[in-house]
């Protein structure tokens, strides 16, 4: 017997066509594992702030540390994690290293997340 408030079918019926369509179109487990790890990275407030800042402006480690009030070492650690997951990229200009979002997909992901919260 279903719990009160639960939405459950009253009979067991598997729509084989729908199940097959989903099976044919769902991403492989390896891809889903990578996606889950990406969302884990986005789930940490400091990393999320870094990404949001980089969605506005290309910044160096010193800029980000000043902006967030955290050590350059802590920022560098977070940037390494974000870079290894292809969320940020960097470029060198002389002795400076500037970070930005890796591509527009990351910016869209952040924008869509914020829009979802505001709807």
Residue 98 lies in a domain: yes
How many other C-beta atoms lie within 10 A of the C-beta of residue 99? 23
CATH number at residue 98: 1.10.10.10
Q: Tens digit of pLDDT for each residue in 19-55?
A: 999 999 999 999 999 999 999 999 999 999 999 999 9
Which pTM was predicted?
Answer: 0.82
CB crowding 47-79: b at 16 or more within 10 Å, else e: beebbebbbeeebbbebbbeebebeeeebeebb
pLDDT tens track for 78-115: 999 999 999 999 999 999 999 999 999 999 999 999 99
Please tell me the predicted confidence (pLDDT) of residue 97.
96
What are 67's two structure tokens?
């902006």
Q: How many domains does the chain have?
A: 1
> Residue 1's pLDDT is what?
45
Residue 108 covered by a domain: yes
Q: 54, 99 in Cβ contact below 8 A? A: yes
Alpha carbons 33 and 28: distance in angstroms, whole number: 9
- Cβ pair 78, 46 in contact under 8 A: yes
* Structural domain for 95, as ranges: 45-118
- The rounded mean pLDDT for the chain is 92
Q: Is the pLDDT of residue 7 over 80?
A: no
């Amino acid at each position: 017997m279903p719990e009160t408030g639960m939405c459950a079918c009253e009979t067991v019926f598997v729509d084989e066509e729908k199940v097959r369509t989903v099976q044919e179109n769902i991403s492989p487990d390896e891809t889903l594992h990578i996606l889950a790890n990406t969302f884990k990275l986005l789930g940490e407030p400091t990393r999320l702030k870094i990404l949001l800042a980089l969605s506005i402006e290309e910044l160096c480690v010193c800029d980000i540390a000043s902006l967030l009030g955290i050590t350059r070492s802590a920022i560098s650690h977070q940037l390494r994690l974000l870079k290894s997951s292809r969320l940020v990229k960097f470029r060198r200009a002389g002795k400076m290293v500037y970070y930005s979002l890796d591509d527009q997909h990351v910016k869209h992901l952040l924008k869509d997340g914020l829009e979802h919260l505001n709807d």
